[in-house]
């Protein structure tokens, strides 16, 4: 595909992975959803919710900002998990292994001040679902991962709808 401004790097380090998130994919796919806490038990187990969610009851509703993640490895080497396979953690709630503690960080920024709205900071963890050995091969896109983060409904989005 043709190069897009702000997407990727021009120079590659030989023998290293170079992971580049696709911001255009996130922009075109983001949506807001109200979900009761009882449907978010697995997300809570994996620390995908804001700290205020852990004080909620099962029937309280949370407002989620949801979006998929697509990452391209445009480097000259595969991206591999940083932990050996024997140390991957099984998560029975989602029925998959975690091969690393964190994969990426996302922040929602106020459109006026460009400051992060810190209670929606997102940590993502890639999963191993139907893959026998999790990694992102050179020059390939990863599987898409749906990410969720909740915030307090009364606060809503920052002015301008966030960025």
CA distances from 30 to 7, 87, 92, 104, 149 (A): 18, 33, 27, 17, 12
Answer whether residue 7 is part of any domain. no
* CA dist., res. 156 & res. 119, Å (int): 11
Answer whether residue 116 is part of any domain. yes
Answer whether residue 115 is part of any domain. yes
Answer whether residue 163 is part of any domain. no
Answer whether residue 140 is part of any domain. yes
Domain count, the chain: 1
Answer whether residue 127 is part of any domain. yes
Supply the DSSP symbol for 27: H
* CA dist., res. 151 & res. 153, Å (int): 6
Task: Look at residue 16 in the predicted model and tell me its pLDDT.
Answer: 83
79-98 per-position pLDDT tens digit:
888 788 889 888 888 788 88
Answer whether residue 46 is part of any domain. yes
Annotate 108-154 with DSSP letters as a single string: -B-TTT--B-GGG-EEE----TT-SS--B-TTEEPPPEEEEEEE-TT
Answer whether residue 14 is part of any domain. no
pTM for the model? 0.57
CB 127 within 8 A of CB 101: no
Domain extent for 78? 19-152
61-78 per-position pLDDT tens digit:
888 888 888 888 888 888
């Amino acid at each position: 595909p043709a190069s897009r401004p702000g997407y990727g790097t021009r120079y590659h380090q030989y023998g290293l992975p170079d992971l580049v998130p696709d911001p255009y994919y996130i922009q075109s796919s983001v949506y807001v959803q109200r979900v009761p806490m009882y449907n978010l038990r697995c997300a809570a187990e994996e620390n995908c919710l804001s700290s205020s969610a852990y004080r909620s009851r099962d029937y309280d509703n949370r407002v989620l900002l949801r979006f998929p993640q697509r990452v391209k490895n445009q480097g000259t080497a595969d991206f591999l998990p940083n932990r050996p396979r024997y140390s991957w953690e099984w998560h029975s709630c989602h029925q998959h292994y975690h091969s690393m503690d964190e994969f990426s960080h996302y922040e929602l920024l106020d459109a006026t001040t460009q400051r992060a709205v810190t209670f929606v900071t997102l940590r993502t963890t890639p999963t191993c679902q139907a893959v026998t050995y999790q990694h992102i091969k050179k020059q390939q896109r990863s599987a898409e991962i749906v990410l969720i983060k909740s915030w307090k409904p009364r606060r809503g989005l920052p002015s301008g709808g966030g960025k």
